[in-house]
């Protein structure tokens, strides 16, 4: 039973890591708040989030137009900033919305390799993306402070983000 639960956590975390990278890419294309945050990042800035030692990971890189691109495994992009969970169980706590990012960092479940100021920009983008694509009662568990977003704005942006996610599959299949 314990092995089954551990295997479930590994599969769930892998899916969520994959999904977060692509949702962040999609959100960077449609949300003005995220675009303003990303404008403060250096050109060609790359960021990764993953699980130590060799767990699932995503890498996103800032493009010339200011949006993010979620890299493929063979893109060989070296991240300027890496946020790593020390164990899959720690990642599961955050990705299953049992613990916020801030609480996880305070509980020493994550490692940061890079500039803390740039990490805060990325965390704000991740929080904003979560608030847009998740129902409020779930997103409230994941973020420290839920931003004021009207229901109509949330639905409109979430729909655009999910459409961009779907379009991303077609863009990638033709590259």
pLDDT of 175 > 70? The answer is no
pLDDT in tens, 113-144: 999 999 999 999 999 999 999 998 888 877 77
What is the per-residue pLDDT for 4? 81
Q: How distant, in Å, are the alpha carbons of 2, 46, 53, 154 from that of 132? A: 34, 23, 31, 6
What percent of the chain lies above the pLDDT cut of 90?
A: 65
Beta bridge partners, 59, equal 48
pLDDT digits (tens, 9 = 90+) for 59-106: 999 999 999 999 877 678 889 999 999 999 999 999 998 888 778 888
Q: Give the per-residue pLDDT at 174.
A: 46
Q: Nearest Cα to 23, choosing from 163, 170, 175? A: 163
């Amino acid at each position: 039973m314990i092995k089954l639960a551990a295997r479930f956590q590994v599969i769930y975390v892998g899916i969520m890591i994959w999904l977060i990278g692509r949702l962040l890419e999609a959100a960077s294309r449609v949300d003005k708040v995220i675009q303003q945050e990303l404008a403060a990042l250096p050109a060609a800035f790359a960021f990764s989030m993953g699980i130590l030692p060799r767990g699932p990971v995503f890498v996103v890189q800032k493009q010339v137009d200011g949006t993010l691109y979620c890299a493929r495994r063979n893109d060989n992009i070296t991240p300027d900033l890496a946020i790593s969970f020390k164990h899959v169980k720690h990642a599961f706590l955050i990705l299953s919305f049992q613990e916020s990012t801030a609480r996880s960092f305070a509980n020493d479940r994550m490692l940061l390799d890079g500039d803390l100021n740039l990490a805060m920009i990325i965390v704000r983008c991740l929080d904003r993306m979560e608030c847009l694509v998740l129902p409020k009662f779930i997103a409230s568990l994941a973020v420290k402070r839920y931003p004021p977003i009207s229901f109509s704005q949330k639905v409109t942006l979430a729909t655009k983000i999910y459409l961009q996610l779907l379009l991303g599959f077609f863009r990638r299949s033709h590259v």
